[in-house]
Amino acid sequence: MVLGRITILVLLLGAFVPGQGQGQGQADSFSPPLASGILKSVVSLLPDWPGYGPGSNTEGKKGKPKNPEGTAVAVLPGGYLATNVHVIGRATTINIRLNDGRIMPAEIIGRDPSTDIALIKTPVDFPVPEFGPAPALGDKVCAIGNQFGLGLSVTCGVASALHRTGTGFNPIEDFIQTDAVVNPGGSGGAMIDAKGRLIGLVSAIFTKDSDANIGVNFASSLKLVMRVANDLKEFGRVQRGKPGFKVRDLSLDERLTTSGAAITFIVPEGAADSAGLQPGDVITAIGERKIYRATDVPSAAHMARPGEELKIGFLRNGKQESASLKLSP
């Protein structure tokens, strides 16, 4: 991927395959009571990838890698845990490993490739951690995951950016960016705040020519995770509405005076048409979410379900206006 003039190798943080990358130290310490509490809700995930064969996350005698590993965290009562689609990969069967070393089977409930969020079910009703509010910029956060397949560990940093989209990982993104150390195997882990409350699902890292952490890591926001997890539990797939329009990024000249995403197409008799939106309108907000670029639009619109209404803030001929848009099924 090329960002500006810098070529960056973007690696999905996938489940760790042994023999790749080198470890890196923990960024910060964390309160032991809070850490021990959240650890009861996080497990190591052992997907059975075709071609890797059964076994633990170690190399065979001839250097052939065995099953990769990742992480999962409890998000709903009844043994439901969230993880990443890329962690499960092509696996049809998976196991989980508890922090005390016990291993047990788990069931894949559903996958949502658009957000890279998956839901699994275990025979154990793990405690669901307390949910926290979205962090503020600079707030202390910690990541808990099965990094490099070594077992669960805790690393800490700060919330470096909020509502990050357009990273190239997924069609729909709502990332909390952090400098907390995260390495392969940590995908699907818990991002928590300073009070030990769950605020996101560790999902991806930016790397540059290696698997090692360079301090640009991403966790899907808890709001996005629960939007997907609840639908996967109830329907086996995510119910999405259609806003009925397409957008583009603003040109350089347009960005001299405003920010947002310009509507390029309106579906006849669709939701946007019924709401009175027009091509050329510049969307500046969806609900409480400010819109700065085109990739922000699917992220914000996805939070509502079919039939629900979204308040759209937009500019038309330089004048700020608003409309209520009801998502089509």
Q: Which domains does the chain have, with CATH numbers?
A: 2-235 (2.40.10.120), 245-326 (2.30.42.10)
302 in catalytic set: no
67-120 pLDDT, tens digit each: 589 999 999 999 999 999 999 998 989 999 998 899 999 999 999 999 999 999
Catalytic residue flag (residue 259): no
Interatomic CA distance for residues 227 and 254, integer angstroms: 33
187 is catalytic: yes
pTM for the model stands at 0.85
Q: Which of 41, 86, 221, 299 is catalytic?
A: 86
Render pLDDT for 150-208 as a digit per residue (tens, 0 to 9): 999 999 999 999 999 999 999 999 999 999 999 999 999 999 999 999 999 999 887 76
- 3-class DSSP assignment, residue 237: coil
Q: Active-site residue among 44, 48, 112, 116?
A: 116
* Measured distance CA(284)–CA(299) in Å, rounded: 14
